[in-house]
Amino acid sequence: MEANGSSKKIDDVGETERDAATRNQFAAEKHAVIYKKHRPKADPKAIERILNFAKEKKSTRFTLAVDIACGSGQGTEDLAQHFDKVIGIDISSAQINEANRTNKAANVEYKVGDAENIPVKDNSVDLVTCSQAVHWFDFDTFLREVDRILTPNGVLAVYSRGDYVLLHDDQQVEKELTTIYKECTWKTLKNYWNDPVHATRQKGYVDLNIPYPDFNRTRMQSKMDMTLTELSGFISSFTAYQRFRKENPDEDIFTPLYARFLRALKVNTEPDKTIVTAGCPLYLLMGRKPDEEEIKRFHFVWEENK
């Protein structure tokens, strides 16, 4: 069930090529600020679904949640009101610095750490979440680490938004808006994506499974309103755009993009006052670690479920 191939060592401290590549893509302080400002927060429907699943076999208040690859905290603080403590972990110190700078929840802690070597005690966590990131991991190693830190009946929830379309009441306008958006993100930026990694996300994690007997795979719909300025900010948070920008520092892709959107919408408003609705599928995988009775009942052995 390997998601991203082998994990080749590249130095004496045990860092892998994947670790280095992932950290480097999110290492810049400026990128962390952009990421915090423009990345959408977790979809409330997904958080509600995750919490309801976790509560099914939990009668007392949740103690600890861990949000892996938390970035600058887009989904971490949404868990704060439901847990005594929440820990956000990310491999990028720049992202963690930005999360700490903007953190408003007293029971949320952010720390630098690796999804494949999670800095949390064994059997201590009620919920592990991971949004928009598991495609960067050695998935088997990540699963073993999650199994180590989860309590019996603890839950792992992995979720990600898929590709966006721009919605409109007029189907022809919707088609044109979506074409403009995709030409920007998948044509202009085509050579700047990490294709094998993003293919896993684009397919909705269909090749990934959480090997617990109580496993749930859900596809939901997510949508949000945003101005054209906010949409361009969202695009600017992509790692592909950051690579593009590094190679083409003087190229402005957003001014002509605004003009095309305004023509399609048949309006002449300013980009920061022009609202569009973005929609996408949201893929959610949830698995519950068995307790001792379930292990006996299902003859569950981790090694047999790799």
- The model's pLDDT over 235-263, given as tens digits with 9 standing for 90+, comes to 998 889 989 999 999 999 999 999 999 99
What's the confidence (pLDDT) of residue 204?
80
Compute φ and ψ for 279, nearest 5 degrees.
Answer: -130, 150
Residue 63 to residue 52: CA distance in whole angstroms = 15
Q: How far apart are the first and last CA of the chain?
A: 6
- 262's tokens: 């305004």
pLDDT digit string, tens, across residues 132-165: 889 889 999 999 999 999 999 999 999 999 889 9
Say if residue 3's pLDDT is above 90.
no
Which band of pLDDT confidence, cut at 50, 70 and 90, is reported for residue 200? low
pLDDT digit string, tens, across residues 42-81: 899 999 999 999 999 987 789 999 999 999 898 999 999 9
Q: Are 36 and 98 in contact (CB under 8 A)?
A: yes
Mean pLDDT for 110-126 is 96
**Could you say which DSSP state residue 187 is in?**
I
Residue 24 to residue 20: CA distance in whole angstroms = 6
What's the confidence (pLDDT) of residue 102?
92
